[in-house]
Amino acid sequence: MESRDPGGQALSVFLRAAARADFAWGACDCALVMADWCRRARGIDPAARLRGRYRTARGALRAVRRRGGFEAAVRALMDEAGFAITDAPRPGDVGLIEHPIAGLVCAIRCAPGWAVKSPAGVALGAFPTRVAWRV
C-alpha cells in the first residue's frame, strides 16, 4: 500500500506500468486500472465485484447495464468501497472523465491532467471531469 504519497512517485511508476500493459477487457481496461490504483494506494478494491465477470467490450457493457449503466455502476462501486467525492481532485485521486473519442471513462488524476488506460497505452489530458473521488 502506498498511502503516504499516493500522488507522487508511486503514481508515476504505476502509470508507466499501465501504459506498457496490454489493454484487455476485464483485466486491464480503464475501470480496472483505476481500481488497481485504488487498491495499491488505499488497499481497497472498488471493482472487486466486477473482476472476472467480463472479457470483452460486449461483456463489459452487459455488466454495467445490469448495474444501471456505466456512471451509475462506477458511482455505486466507489460509494460501497467508501471513497468520498471531491470537487478538487489532486494527483492520485480517481474519477469519471469525458474523453473526446471514448466518451465517459475511468481515469486517474496526475500532474498533467487525467490519465486513462486505452488500447494505445495511457492517454493524458485535461479532460472534463464528471465526478472525482479522493484516494
What integer pLDDT is reported at residue 49 of this predicted model?
87
Note whether residue 77 is domain-resident: yes
Note whether residue 69 is domain-resident: yes
What integer pLDDT is reported at residue 9 of this predicted model?
87
Which residue is listed with cell 503516504?
4
Note whether residue 1 is domain-resident: no
What's the structural domain count of the chain? 1
83 vs 10, 42, 58, 68, 95, CA distance in Å? 19, 10, 28, 19, 11
3-state secondary structure (DSSP) of residue 76: helix
Per residue of the chain (135 residues), give pLDDT as tens.
444 456 678 999 999 999 999 999 999 999 999 999 999 999 999 999 889 889 999 999 999 899 999 999 999 999 999 999 999 999 999 999 999 998 999 999 999 999 999 988 899 999 999 999 999
Note whether residue 85 is domain-resident: yes
What integer pLDDT is reported at residue 17 of this predicted model?
95
Note whether residue 4 is domain-resident: no
E strand or H helix at 38: helix 30-42
Q: Could you tell me the residue range of the domain that residue 123 belongs to? A: 9-133
Note whether residue 2 is domain-resident: no
Note whether residue 3 is domain-resident: no
d(CA 116, CA 125): 9
